[in-house]
């Protein structure tokens, strides 16, 4: 009987120890969804390259683009259809440099809908033309963020 108790303990310990998992070489790959902010940055990359095909793929085409131009006390609200916006971008001569420099970017939203706000300075032909704020509304559709609305201010000094 004295030998039976130690043998049972040894067998129980051996059984419990054999069920432990051993570390194995494995790699866990985390694939992150693209962010709404990265979609807006990509939009501006295509904007500066005047790549209207890529711009068209980044936004819904039935949306209006609304702008508030402010020049002193004068305020004008204008709306441009997305198709006209693309024509306007394509019509800028290659000889004239333009750049919309994003100053600050902020995000609000969840995994399905987001708003991205940017402050910016717009340079045309190497001169500061105006400053303002962009407000993008985006939806996450087919594993990517799509621009579903765009409003901006343009403040001329």
Q: What is the pLDDT of residue 97?
A: 97
Q: Cα 90 to chain center, whole Å?
A: 23
pLDDT band at 89 (very low <50, low <70, confident <90, very high): very high
| Distances from the Cα of 34 to the Cα of 30, 40, 49, 112, angstroms | 12, 11, 21, 12
Q: HSE of 17 in the Cβ direction (CA atoms, 13 Å)?
A: 6
Q: What is the pLDDT of residue 34?
A: 77
Q: What is the pLDDT of residue 1?
A: 52
Q: What is the pLDDT of residue 126?
A: 97
Q: What is the mean pLDDT of the chain?
A: 87
Percent of the chain with pLDDT over 70: 79
Percent of the chain with pLDDT over 90: 78
| Confidence check: pLDDT of 104 > 50 | yes
pLDDT digits (tens, 9 = 90+) for 134-150: 999 999 999 999 999 99
pLDDT digits (tens, 9 = 90+) for 23-72: 555 454 444 567 999 999 999 999 999 999 999 999 999 999 999 999 99
pLDDT digits (tens, 9 = 90+) for 16-33: 555 555 455 545 444 456
Domains and CATH numbers, the chain: 36-156 (3.10.450.50)
Q: How far apart are CA 85 and CA 55, in angstroms?
A: 10
């Amino acid at each position: 009987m004295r030998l039976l108790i130690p043998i049972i303990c040894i067998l129980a310990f051996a059984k419990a120890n054999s069920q432990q998992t051993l570390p194995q070489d494995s790699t866990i790959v985390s694939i992150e969804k693209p962010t709404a902010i990265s979609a807006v940055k990509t939009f501006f990359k295509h904007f500066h390259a005047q790549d209207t095909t890529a711009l068209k793929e980044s936004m819904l085409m039935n949306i209006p683009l609304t702008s508030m131009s402010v020049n002193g006390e004068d305020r004008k609200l204008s709306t441009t259809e997305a198709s006209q916006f693309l024509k306007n971008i394509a019509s800028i001569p290659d000889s004239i440099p333009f750049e919309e420099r994003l100053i600050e970017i902020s995000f609000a939203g969840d995994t399905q809908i987001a708003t991205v706000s940017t402050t910016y300075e717009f340079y045309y032909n190497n001169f500061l033309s105006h400053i303002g704020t962009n407000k993008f509304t985006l939806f996450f559709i087919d594993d990517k963020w799509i621009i579903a609305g765009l409003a901006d201010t343009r403040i001329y000094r």
